[in-house]
Amino acid sequence: MGVERVRAVQRRLSEAAVDAVLISHPANRRWITHVSASDASPSAHAGWVFVTLDDAALVTSPLYYGEAIHEAVGVRVVLAANRVHETFADLVRQASSRRVGFERGWFTFQNHADLTGALAEWAAPVEVSDLVEPLRAIKDEDEVASIVRAVALSDGALTAFFDEVRPEITEREAAWFLEAYMRTRGSEGVAFEVGVATGVHSAVPHHKPGDAPLGIGAPIWIDIGARVDGYCSDITRSFVLGYPSDEYRRLWQATMDAQKRALETIAPGKTGRDCDAAARDHLTEHGLGELFTHSLGHGVGLMIHEGPRLGRSSGDVLTRGMITSVEPGIYRPEWGGIRHEELVQVTNNGCAILTRTPNVVSI
């Protein structure tokens, strides 16, 4: 599988008008090499991948070398005894590469100065973009298996939480319960900081858990994701504890129906815009369009947000094998919010929902 990924990158070199490429973005590097080493930042990096038409190598420092040798698939691992950019430049010269692409969305001016300094006059670094990302958007069997395992962990956490939940539990305590459940059962950290919001806090799409008790009858949403083999899951459930108001029921159901419309729309050939519009139009028909303040969804994989984008202006075309969130949400300031999120896999003629936790309006 590693070899196939390298070949897919190699096939894109001529399109990008380069004869070699430097991949430094952490998720792209991991996808090509299977090496899990993670970076603090573009400046403290776990290595650069060098891909030419007939070679692929990960150049890394002694700190990551042992792990890289153990994990790498489809690429050579080259130890940078001194500095990564110098060893990388040696590979460029050995391969007689003259045009070396680098990723404009991740490469910093410092990286560029280091590389050009080491290359001297040998080769010209050239900006490239979206070279690996479109490949990553379509998941192979191994990737789907990892995501399904991550989904099982987040589903399990929600189910266990619903068994335990009491109105006096605070957002922060709930968040910790959910994280501890996933982490102690094999999740590598969390896919993103656990989101728990109650009452007026739930009107803030990215609210951070605080000391508010969940309470009875307040709009609550929980947004969590686990991580397995580097791959994320992502799920949101919205509910109240006790009896929901008629207004809550109405908005909850409208958002659920909007999601259903989007799920019915998703299929190969549809654009991100088409899917977003299906949900948004439904909410607009019910006078709620203005409250849907974010996009419908995003691809999920080694990154919690990746391609395809499902939003108002997204021309991304869905393809079999993509995995994306579908998460319409409405937020009424000073009242609260509701978001329903499933993770789905695009199939031959529609989509399969991976998330399993039932949607219930009250607990």
Q: Which residues bind its own copies (CB under 8 A)?
A: 40-44, 62-63, 66, 102, 104-110, 112-113, 127, 129, 176, 180, 183-184, 189, 193, 204-206, 293, 305
Which one, 96 or 110, has the nearer CB to its own copies?
110
Which one, 6 or 80, has the nearer CB to its own copies?
80
- Phi then psi dihedrals of residue 339, to 5 deg: -140, 130
Which one, 62 or 358, has the nearer CB to its own copies?
62
Which one, 40 or 120, has the nearer CB to its own copies?
40
- Write down the least CB distance from residue 25 to its own copies, Å: 8
Which one, 111 or 233, has the nearer CB to its own copies?
111
Prior bond of 268 cis (ω within 30°): no
Alpha carbon distances (Å) from 80 to 44, 69, 77: 14, 13, 10
Which one, 244 or 311, has the nearer CB to its own copies?
311
Exposed, middle or buried: residue 175 (CB in 10 Å: 0-12, 13-18, 19+)?
buried
By the 8 A CB rule, do 150 and 226 touch? yes
DSSP state of 240: B
- Write down the least CB distance from residue 205 to its own copies, Å: 8
By the 8 A CB rule, do 322 and 299 touch? yes
- Write down the least CB distance from residue 238 to its own copies, Å: 19
Torsion of CA 287, 293, 298, 303, to 10 degrees: -150
Rounded to whole angstroms, the Cα distance separating 244 from 324 reads 30
- Write down the least CB distance from residue 43 to its own copies, Å: 5
- Write down the least CB distance from residue 203 to its own copies, Å: 10
Rounded to whole angstroms, the Cα distance separating 210 from 233 reads 23
Q: Which helix (H) or strand (E) holds 7?
A: helix 2-11
**Rounded to the nearest 5 degrees, what angle is found at the Cα of 309, between the Cα atoms of 338 and 33?**
120
- Write down the least CB distance from residue 304 to its own copies, Å: 8
Find where tokens 């190598």 sit: 57
Alpha carbon distances (Å) from 213 to 199, 241, 248, 273: 9, 11, 19, 38
Which one, 189 or 315, has the nearer CB to its own copies?
189
